[in-house]
């Protein structure tokens, strides 16, 4: 059973464990949102607002600059075998559990900063939102941006997505399309009476296998594009020639392309493959690194390390669309995100907290 309250005075690693013990797969974030809201309303230096299961807290100190710290509170589905909730800290100091990496360790850092940094050198906005791990139209940050864009106003944003303690600039866009081929049903004993839609998808798969990823340098960071089949569906019965086949393709593209350019590229790439229907299933754009902004330079100087590109898509894209430059930073390792044995080194969580605190108090 989830805890009924969050103690923000806990060490950041302990707080991460408590957050993991609130099961919050996408669509089931209410208990955790309630606990976060209650904890934040107990902090007199913050103004707290809520929209659905999205909680926004702000300082209003009249500082010259406002920084947004944002993180999603949902996780991928919890595993049953082996179970990855509740959390577990092993003898080597590794914290295991669903969401430890992506991104409850980052959310714990947000909450610790909210609790301890009462007089920051910049005004702060803390955003905790739902449904990041599912389709774009469900994304809580998108809902807040649409209903209350003023809640997200700022000069710079840090998204607490897993980066292994490094700063990752921008993000790649993600486009998902359905490539559908048609055929004619027939009994498999008399296959010549039909036309096999799965066989008709062969040119699509051949083209995908031949794809060479592009690696453009954008504002000094080298990105790595990818074009992959992520699902294939077809077939009626084991003795029927299929009359339809759908190949789902995901294009991860660098932030030097616009959404329109990315879509045009994919259409053109498969133009000679005999596709009967081309359907855009989901599409969210990229974000440029934004590291040239003065606030980003100050952030890099404070937290240290060398900036890297974010290969996956993150909600820095949404901040970019709002005109707020943003980067990714948190203690989680992106290579461990979404794994059944998701984990994070516990000592890295308070370390990330201290690095953020030094930037916000120096």
- In which residue are the tokens 């309303």 written? 41
Segment 78-111, tens digit of pLDDT: 999 889 999 999 999 999 999 999 999 999 999 9
Token digits for 67?
Answer: 């920084």
DSSP character at residue 323: T
Residue 18: the pLDDT is 97
Using a 10 angstrom Cβ sphere, with 0-12 exposed, 13-18 middle and 19 or more buried, the burial of residue 1 is exposed
Determine which one of 34, 37, 74, 133 is catalytic: 74
| Mean pLDDT value of segment 245-260 | 97
The rounded distance, in Å, linking the Cα atoms of 309 and 285 is 15
Contact 213, 234 (CB under 8 A): no
164 is catalytic: no
The rounded distance, in Å, linking the Cα atoms of 356 and 293 is 17
Q: How confident is the model at residue 2 (pLDDT cuts 50, 70, 90)?
A: very low
Residue 3: the pLDDT is 54
The rounded distance, in Å, linking the Cα atoms of 362 and 360 is 6
For residue 205, pLDDT over 60 is answered with: yes
Antiparallel, parallel or unpaired: β 156-159 and 221-222: unpaired
Q: How far is CA 71 from CA 90, 104, 216, 242, in A?
A: 26, 8, 28, 44
86 cis-preceded (ω within 30 degrees of 0): yes
Dihedral sign of CA atoms 335, 337, 342, 343 in order: positive
Segment 43-69, tens digit of pLDDT: 999 999 999 999 999 999 999 999 999
For residue 316, pLDDT over 70 is answered with: yes
Average pLDDT of the chain, as a whole number: 95
Q: How confident is the model at residue 362 (pLDDT cuts 50, 70, 90)?
A: confident
Segment 159-182, tens digit of pLDDT: 999 999 999 999 999 999 999 999
Helix (H, G, I), strand (E, B) or coil at 339: coil
The rounded distance, in Å, linking the Cα atoms of 316 and 322 is 10
Q: How far is CA 335 from CA 103, 250, 261, 284, 326, in A?
A: 13, 19, 29, 22, 21
| Mean pLDDT value of segment 187-211 | 98
Determine which one of 132, 225, 315, 342 is catalytic: 132
| Mean pLDDT value of segment 328-353 | 94
For residue 1, pLDDT over 50 is answered with: no
222 is catalytic: no
Q: What is the pTM of this model?
A: 0.87
The rounded distance, in Å, linking the Cα atoms of 59 and 167 is 24
Segment 120-152, tens digit of pLDDT: 999 999 999 999 999 889 999 999 999 999 999
Q: What percent of the chain shows pLDDT beyond 90?
A: 89
Segment 216-227, tens digit of pLDDT: 999 999 999 999
Task: Give me the phi and psi of 112, to 5 degrees please.
Answer: -65, -40
The rounded distance, in Å, linking the Cα atoms of 187 and 150 is 61
């Amino acid at each position: 059973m989830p805890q009924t309250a969050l103690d923000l005075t806990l060490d950041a690693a302990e707080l991460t464990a408590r957050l993991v013990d609130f099961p919050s797969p996408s669509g089931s974030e209410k208990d955790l949102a309630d606990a976060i809201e209650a904890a934040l309303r107990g902090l007199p230096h913050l103004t707290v607002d809520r929209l659905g299961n999205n909680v926004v807290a702000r300082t209003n100190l009249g500082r010259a600059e406002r920084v947004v710290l944002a993180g999603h509170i949902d996780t991928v589905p919890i595993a049953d075998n082996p179970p990855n909730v509740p959390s577990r800290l092993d003898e080597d100091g590794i914290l295991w559990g669903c969401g430890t990496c992506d991104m409850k360790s980052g959310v714990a850092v947000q909450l610790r900063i909210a609790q301890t940094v009462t007089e920051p050198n910049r005004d702060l906005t803390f955003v905790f939102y739902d449904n990041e791990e599912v389709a774009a139209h469900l994304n809580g940050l998108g809902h807040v941006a649409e209903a209350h864009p003023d809640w997200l106003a700022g000069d710079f944003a840090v998204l607490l997505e897993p980066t292994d303690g490094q700063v990752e600039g921008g993000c790649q866009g993600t486009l998902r399309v359905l490539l559908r081929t048609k055929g004619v049903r027939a009994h498999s004993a008399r296959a010549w009476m039909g036309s096999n839609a799965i066989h008709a998808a062969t040119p699509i798969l051949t083209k995908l296998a031949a794809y060479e990823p592009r690696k453009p340098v954008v504002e000094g960071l080298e990105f790595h594009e990818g074009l992959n089949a992520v699902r294939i569906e077809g077939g009626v019965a084991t003795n029927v020639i299929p009359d339809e086949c759908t190949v789902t393709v995901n294009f991860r593209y660098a932030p030097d392309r616009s959404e329109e350019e990315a879509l045009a590229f994919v259409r053109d790439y498969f133009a000679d493959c005999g596709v009967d229907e081309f359907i855009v299933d989901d599409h969210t754009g990229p974000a440029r690194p934004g590291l040239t902004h003065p606030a980003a330079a100050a952030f890099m100087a404070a937290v240290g390390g060398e900036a890297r590109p974010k290969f996956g898509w993150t909600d820095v894209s949404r901040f970019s669309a709002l005109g707020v430059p943003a980067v990714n930073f948190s203690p989680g390792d992106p290579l461990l995100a979404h794994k059944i044995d998701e984990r994070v080194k516990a000592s890295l969580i308070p370390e990330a907290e201290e690095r953020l605190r030094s930037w916000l108090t120096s």
